[in-house]
A and B are shown apart, each in its own frame.
Chain A
């Protein structure tokens, strides 16, 4: 069976991609094979083929695309271009899973046992004691209600996920029958898209070959990406089905609680046999104790806690697909983040310019609040003209009212950045282009590494035709013999070349993409009006041009990222950046957002500082590390583990999507939990306390508790070793707090017995008489005689009082459970819902005790007011005990008290 969310998961299952659709018996194997295939690099040579070869290979035509018939044929052969959707589970199966999965199963067993016990008693003794029947019904009702609730929750969130999927654009531009056509991705078809259109970066199935973008220098590889590391803002990440920690926790908890229940049950079974109860009574006792240990409310509490947190996260625009994932976030120890769009704005922006032998800084902030530069230089006018003209990007229509930076652009990222920059500094580029109509152009190609266009010059003071060119800076420089300085053409001497080199290196070192610009006013005598420029023959000069300047672009980090990274750091979460970018760019961004913190050096930095070869540097000296994808390819998993273990700040550059998988696997080998966000503060503490609490509202109210002030500074939970329910919690719950609570309860019990005439000394050994319904003159300590029913009423009054006492001591328990380390006085009592919970709990207890008819329905009897106060000292004791414990933990971190009692 396919394992999911709440189901029992064994540690062996790792994860499985949601998108795989294999079914049947060989599934496990197929899955493994599939995983291996995913990790392999897809061998692709399409990008190396010449266009001729390419269109022959795919039987298409570069300008006209496929014929409709051929497209239909391919569609018939390969099917629609969609991901094979994960096999959908029928709704009733999902419902049954909620109803019978994991923890519910325990409750069902408990309920069955109750019915069994009822059956046995009614058949064997003919008694009409319906307690067990009621309990069984209540248990069953609890399971059914919580089951429906979780099902409803999950159905709701999966509906949201569905709607998200439909929001993702699924259209590509294809040339079919010579017409540019917007084709729904599912429509299929084979052909090359026209360049510079936006398609979803999410998945491209092999039979529709489109590149992500035809931007120079970026390697493109068609891939089947089932998931993305990091959050891509517009695409719902398809995640791996991992057995969530909470599911493992619950499984662990079931084991523990079953162990405890069976142990207690059997001990009491043996005890009751020793005390000469009948076999039947002993068996019913056994069942009773096992059922009593089933925390009926836990399931509901956990569900509600997770739902609340999920809702709170939804308010912060973080959609949680699966409730249990909420808790997973709480144990996040490593975040593997994508760069583009997650850490950065996903928006190329011109960051620097070099002209007049000087580097100028452009404004890169999201809201244009940064510094400006001197725009009066004639060189800048020339540079902006070149950048605006030698540029194929255009704004999409009807965006006059949109701020320039937010406008949608048709064109590749660099050109868009230039377009926006020029539009911002110099006004409408469109008008500029109208004044300088384009005559011819040579588009960018990887052999020339430049882009060139010739424009008619409207300015009568200059020549008739203007040649503008942009491209890789060194190539551009090679084609120049002069340079524009303060609007004056000067010869390009060695000194200038040096200063160009320095500027180029400096900008490159910042991780920026640098472009060079040059122009040439074509002399009127050689190029008269109406001259036929021929781009194939190149009947115009492309050498001895005039260098104008450099412009460099970067995808700037988001403003909020450095702070977020810092918070993650202080919470002990390791942030790893994974990107396809060049290592220098990657490192610059990583430094910019604090993933590589100030003062930390990589091996290369150390080598450069000490001026020694890289091989002589001790890798342990470097905390930070930039790993190149090509190195990663040759690494063994041990080497990768070594890197993950010994470096605190890691950047993976030039990684392929396949390698991302390898990296995440590496992290998971470390026992890290890779996750994308860490919002789940409360979950860390919330579910801890459910064990101790039986009344439901107070337990749930803890989910509303303010996180402890320093919670984000604490280490994330390691799901392998830090169990939510660990032996220390059990020891606290059963052994220490539980003991005090039991003491409080029994104290009240004995007080009531004594005040009614049965002193504790008189109670010893009284049980056989006490429980014999045919003895109706049992003597108390005063010599009074009691009928069976009278005794039982006192006994049940004691039970009621025991319950009330537990409520009273739970006040203290609830308050101490607000925090795990801080004092309640530090935390305050601001949680209104918790206070409501306290009152609700108390009111419920009072209602159960005093409401007429409760004696018949639940055998609960009114209490004398004084009996309410019996447990108060114990309540206080618990509070003081825990405050002192926390004080010691705070004063003496890591000490014996913390090791033994911190849960």
Chain B
């Protein structure tokens, strides 16, 4: 039976695409709740972030046989040939952890949690061969207006409900070369066998001015022509997360 299935490429992908959008830290009911003054309350989130980012450390990306530098401005897709191992493994674009700045954990190893300015990482689910298309300029929400880049899948987070919008405060985005989105040169993904050490592009989102002691629901979306949203699948192309930060 398995003989009929390719090792490198699944037979059908109509169920996995369009891709989901997920966040780190990964939490039950996507609720991030902690007390600023109590390091223990945010320890799990920090550990989770640190664990996830360890792959992105500079020390992990030294092997030039595997990693290549793809620059720090968004560029077009990097095609790497057919989906088989005739040419051996495929190279992988580096993703520098420093790009995540305040959320890189390099300066602040609590990712802003100790200051009550929590970071989350946003990533687009990996799909073999999937090439996200940058959105058309007109379709971008007002918050992203003017930040259009033809090689970037922008990420944007706003309050889930309009009445909460003043509670969210300022949102900082850190991504490749300071661009708040996923650059296209990281796509397409060639799969676990051909790119075992593939690093999917990340966007760090920091909420620097969240209102404390109330539940604030935030929704983050990735924008692209072939990124869709579904009422049934609330993690397709977007996700929402709840913050409940206690001041004491």
Q: Which of B12, B26, B27, B192 contacts A864 (CB 8 A)?
A: B12
Q: A750-B1, A774-B26, A775-B26 are in contact. Are A783 and B189 (CB under 8 A)?
A: yes
* B residues in contact with A774, CB < 8 Å: 26-30
A751 at the interface (CB under 8 A from B): yes
CB atoms of A759 and B5 under 8 A apart = yes
Contact between A780 and B10 (Cβ–Cβ < 8 Å)?
yes
Choose among A751, A754, A787 the residue that contacts B20 (Cβ–Cβ < 8 A): A787
Contact partner, A751, options B1, B8, B127, B233, Cβ 8 Å? B1
The verdict on A499 contacting chain B, using a C-beta distance below 8 Å, is: no
Q: Does A756 contact B (CB under 8 A)?
A: yes
**Complex: how many Å from CA A28 to CA B128?**
78
Instruction: Mark interface residues in B7-21 (1 if CB within 8 Å of A CB, else 0).
Output: 011111101100110
B161 contacts partner chain A, Cβ-Cβ < 8 Å: no
Report Cα–Cα, A191/B239, bound state, in Å: 99
Task: Give the residue among A775, A783, A786, A794 with the most B Cβ atoms within 10 A.
Answer: A783
C-alpha spacing A775/B1, complex, angstroms: 29
Find out whether the CB atom of B26 lies under 8 angstroms from the CB atom of A757: no
**In the complex, what residue of chain B is closest to A777 when comparing beta carbons?**
B22
Residue B145 interfacial (CB < 8 Å): no
B33: Cβ under 8 A from any A Cβ: no
A782 touches B9 (CB 8 A): yes
CB of B120, distance to nearest CB on chain A (Å): 14
Q: Do A757 and B10 have beta carbons less than 8 Å apart? A: yes
On whether the beta carbons of A782 and B128 are closer than 8 Å, the reply is yes
Residue of B nearest to A759 (CB): B2
Does any Cβ of B come within 8 Å of A564's Cβ?
no
Chain B residues with CB below 8 A from A785, complex form:
16, 19-20, 22, 125-127
Q: A759-B5, A789-B235 are in contact. Are A776 and B10 (CB under 8 A)?
A: no
Complex formed: what's the CA distance from A794 to B191 in Å? 20
Chain A contacts of B236 at CB under 8 A?
Answer: 787, 789-790
Nearest-neighbour CB distance to chain B for A799, whole angstroms, equals 14
The reply to whether B15 and A783 contact each other, CB–CB distance below 8 Å, is: no
Closest B residue by C-beta to A788: B235
Task: Compute how far the CA of A394 lies from the CA of B152 in the bound complex, rounded to whole angstroms.
Answer: 116
Residue in chain A with minimal CB distance to B200: A785
Q: Report which of B1, B16, B30, B123 forms a contact with A786, defined as CB distance below 8 A.
A: B16
CB of B198 closer than 8 Å to a CB of A: yes
Distance (Å) between the CB of A746 and the closest chain B CB? 11
Interface residues of A in 744-777 (CB under 8 A from B): 747, 750-751, 754-757, 759-760, 774-777
Q: Are A782 and B2 neighbours in the complex by a CB distance under 8 Å?
A: no
Specify which chain A residues have a CB less than 8 angstroms from the CB of B11 in the assembled complex. Answer: 755-756
Cross-chain contact B22 with A784 (CB below 8 angstroms): no
Q: Are B192 and A783 in contact (CB under 8 A)?
A: yes
Partner of A781, one of B13, B27, B127, B192: B192
B235's partner among A756, A757, A779, A787 (CB-CB below 8 A) is A787
The answer to the question of A793 belonging to the interface, with a C-beta cut-off of 8 Å to chain B, is yes
Contact with B5, one of A755, A788, A797 (Cβ below 8 angstroms): A755
Contact with B191, one of A755, A777, A782, A864 (Cβ below 8 angstroms):
A782
Q: Is the CB of B233 within 8 A of A790?
A: yes
A853 CB → nearest B CB, Å: 13
Given contact pairs A750-B1, A776-B125, A755 touches B12 in the complex (Cβ within 8 A)? yes
Nearest-Cβ distance from residue A549 to partner chain B, whole angstroms? 93
B32–chain A nearest beta-carbon distance, Å? 12
- A789 to B128, Cβ gap below 8 A? no
Specify the chain B residue showing the minimal Cβ separation from A792.
B233
Scan B101-132; emit 1 where CB is below 8 A from any A CB, else 0: 00000000000000000000001011110000
State the Cβ distance, B15 to closest chain A Cβ, in Å. Answer: 5
Complex Cα gap A774–B8 (Å):
28
**Which of A750, A754, A776, A788 neighbours the largest number of chain B CB atoms within 10 Å of its CB?**
A776
1/0 contact trace for A665-694 toward B, CB 8 Å? Answer: 000000000000000000000000000000
On whether the beta carbons of A782 and B10 are closer than 8 Å, the reply is yes
Chain B residues, Cβ within 8 Å of A782: 8-10, 128, 191-193
Q: Which residues of A lie under 8 Å from residue B29 when comparing CB positions?
A: 774
**A776 B239 Cβ-Cβ under 8 A:** yes
CA distance A859 to B16 in the complex (A): 17
Contact B22 A755 (CB under 8 A): no
Contact A790/B16 with A754-B5, A776-B22 known, Cβ cut-off 8 Å: yes
A784 to B10, CA, bound (A): 10
B129 to chain A, nearest CB (A): 10
CB pair B15–A794 under 8 Å, yes or no, is yes
Determine whether the beta carbon of A790 is less than 8 Å from that of B20.
Answer: yes
| Minimum C-beta distance from B239 to chain A (A) | 7
Contact yes or no, A786 B2, CB < 8 A: no
Contact B125 A755 (CB under 8 A): no
B26 touches A786 (CB 8 A): no
Closest to B9 in A: A782
Neighbouring A residues of B125 by C-beta, 8 Å: 776-777, 784-787
Q: Which residues of B contact A864 (CB under 8 A)?
A: 12
A435 to B10, CA, bound (A): 111
List the A residue with the shortest CB-CB distance to B30.
Answer: A774
A784 cross-chain contacts in B, Cβ below 8 A = 10, 13, 16, 125-128, 189, 191
The docked-state distance in angstroms from the alpha carbon of A777 to that of B122 is: 12
B189/A757 in contact, CB under 8 A: no
> With A and B bound together, what is the CA distance between A502 and B32 in angstroms?
118
Would you list which residues of chain A between 209 and 226 have a CB under 8 Å from chain B?
none
List the B side residues contacting A790 at CB < 8 Å. 15-16, 20, 233, 236
Q: With A784-B10, A787-B20 in contact, do A797 and B15 touch (Cβ < 8 Å)? A: yes
Complexed CA–CA distance, A754 and B3 (Å): 11
Residues of chain B lying within 8 A (CB to CB) of residue A786: 16, 20, 125
Q: Tell me whether A756 and B2 are in contact in the complex, defined as CB-CB below 8 angstroms, given that A776-B125, A776-B239, A785-B125 are known contacts.
A: no
CB proximity of A732 to chain B, nearest CB, Å: 27
A349 and B19 CA atoms in complex are apart in Å by 95
State whether A757 and B16 are in contact (beta carbons under 8 Å apart), knowing that A783-B198, A784-B125 are contacts in the complex: yes
Interfacial chain A residues near B128, Cβ < 8 Å: 782-784
With a CB–CB cut-off of 8 A, which chain A residues contact B233? 787-790
B123 surroundings in chain A (CB, below 8 A)? 777
What residues of A have a CB within 8 angstroms of the CB of B15 in the complex?
756, 790, 793-794, 797
Q: Which of A779, A780, A786, A864 has the most CB of B within 10 A?
A: A786
For A267-300 the 0/1 string (1 means CB < 8 A from B) is: 0000000000000000000000000000000000
Residues of A within 8 A of B10 (CB): 755-757, 780, 782, 784
A788–B233 Cα gap in the complex (Å)? 8
Q: Do B16 and A756 touch (CB < 8 A)?
A: yes
Shortest Cβ distance from A856 into B: residue: B232
CA A782 to CA B125, docked complex, whole Å:
12
Chain B residues with CB below 8 A from A780, complex form: 10, 16
Contact residues of B between 74 and 101, Cβ < 8 Å to A: none
Q: Which of A750, A760, A789 contacts B232 (CB 8 A)?
A: A789
B144 shortest CB reach to chain A, Å: 23
Given the contacts A782-B192, A785-B127, A786-B125, A756 and B12 also touching, CB distance less than 8 Å: yes
Chain B residues with CB under 8 A of A797: 15
Could you tell me the distance between the alpha carbons of A782 and B192 in the complex, rounded to whole angstroms? 5
- The winner among A760, A775, A789 for most chain B CB atoms within 10 A is A789
A766 → B minimal CB distance (Å): 15
Contacts of A781 in B (CB 8 A): 192
8 A Cβ contacts from B28-53 to A: 28-30
Render A684-718 as a binary contact track against B, CB cut-off 8 A, 1 for contact: 00000000000000000000000000000000000
The 4 closest A-B pairs by CB, nearest first: A783-B192, A789-B233, A787-B20, A785-B125
Q: List 16 A-B contacts (CB under 8 A).
A: A755-B12, A777-B22, A777-B123, A779-B192, A782-B9, A784-B126, A785-B19, A785-B20, A785-B125, A785-B126, A786-B16, A787-B233, A788-B233, A789-B230, A789-B235, A793-B15
B residues adjacent to A (C-beta < 8 A): 1-2, 5, 8-13, 15-16, 19-20, 22, 26-30, 123, 125-128, 189, 191-193, 195, 198, 230, 232-236, 239
Q: What 4 new A-B contacts, CB under 8 Å, besides A777-B22, A777-B125?
A: A784-B128, A785-B125, A787-B125, A790-B236
